[in-house]
Structure 1
């Protein structure tokens, strides 16, 4: 449903990039914004003149602390309408070189953080009417469906997020259809992310060419990104409000952004279709002929 009424947004990772754009554009529209980030007093100081409420928040904090921060936002504005899970961490390196701790750090920020904040938000959203009401936005990536060399940690975290949110969407459609999840899948956009890649040190000489190439690629993309972050966030806000480009449209679970992302998505779809064409008969031949598992069905 289209709405231009004032909304209250809770946004993570607001120090720069997409998060900062959400804050500035939403405040320009007159919406209430709770802008969060680590070391907020310094890293979010440049947003104070927007009139947004600034809260210090590390998305890897324990669940109780995330619950408390979300409740603080509710207490300030009387409620929250939209949660934007934007905070991210980009670790780059070959699988053999990455440590378990580095993989866990990436998963803690990119997967557990958004899911834990979802747990903080859902009780509030469910309380808003008989079927609940609220929007859960997840800033995913083309890396949520397309694996790349050197990107295993980041891709793993985004693949995990996509799977969890797809399941969540089906749970909510069954029992709380007024609460909507939305996965945004950007390609390479004009943010600081390419300047903030955490590259592994050269631990295994065999992988040095790959790591060197990853560094060159990141440096080459920085300040040369094909995607316009300002324009993209403006469109995401329109989708969230059901206005502009989203007027009269049924919004899907996933919305890709950028030609870079669309190209990878089409390539992945081509690969999947080719695999099905080549292997479907063999795949089906592994069934017991006399058995047929029922497809899951849910009321509603």
Structure 2
């Protein structure tokens, strides 16, 4: 007989629509406790009040101290938090030459610094759960964190940065707190409001007008015609976090792709990277000092590290 999944407390950002809203509705249907957050929550999250979720106003670009206080508020309400879902984000579209420094900064503030700062808020609590720590930190990433798209440099750069930071975090946690599991969800284009809400730069440089016009057409064409089912994505991410369904008995990797479009893009890029590595292997090795090729020494294991004085 299958043991029913343990009831959990979830802290979720960006709940006004899309993945965030789906997490709230599906988790409350399962009986889990949920802290649903978003900007201007009183109005933008009003449609979630009947779910029984706790609604908190939260801007992920707020200072660290404010994020810490909000996360602590959730702990004070429920006694704990088991899963943090970093979902809030947006797409800024425009060619590199046209994007301003401020627009790039705003993209990073929401898509990169927000999730990382909230991770800092959560880690002390998760580290305090037993000798190995316990908790799940989910990052709703994108194929854009692995594959650059024209006119999407602000979004792709922020998602690439997030992937690098979280990969490093995963190795830090494996080193000293292996009970805390980070999870990067690399989703393709799914049935959310994201394609409707793309921020397009105004036409600033005539040279790039054809590209910007094409991106507007593409975004509009994708909206309502997305290949990926957001309801299914969220259902399966919940299973991964709970270790049931698709996650039962599995060693879940750091990155999990969702959507045939994402899978195709990832496979094509990996194949191209492998081709380049094979073609340029000799050049790469030609700069090594004689007798000094190969990987650098590894860090000691977590057990060894704790014995280092």
TM-score range, shorter chain: over 0.9
Is 1:294 the counterpart of 2:302? The answer is no
* Residue of structure 2 equivalent to 1:163: 164
Which string of whole-angstrom CA distances, capped at 9 and with x for unpartnered residues, describes residues 241-298 of structure 1?
0101111111000000000100100011011101111101111101111334623233
Cα distance in 2 for residues equivalent to 1:260 and 1:298: 39
SS at match of 1:5: coil
SS at match of 1:48: helix
Gaps of 5+ in 1: none
Gaps of 5+ in 2: 303-309
Q: How does 1:45-124 map to 2 (within 5 A)?
A: 45-124=46-125
Shift of 1:3: 6.6
* Residue of structure 1 equivalent to 2:144: 143
| Aligned pairs, number | 299
Cα distance in 2 for residues equivalent to 1:267 and 1:133: 36
TM-score (norm 2): 0.95
Cα distance in 2 for residues equivalent to 1:294 and 1:182: 26
* Residue of structure 1 equivalent to 2:155: 154
SS at match of 1:160: helix
Q: How does 1:255-274 map to 2 (within 5 A)?
A: 255-274=256-275
* Residue of structure 2 equivalent to 1:37: 38
Instruction: Quote the RMSD (CA, aligned, Å).
Output: 1.0
Shift of 1:5: 1.2
TM-score (norm 1): 0.98
* Residue of structure 1 equivalent to 2:252: 251
Shift of 1:130: 1.0
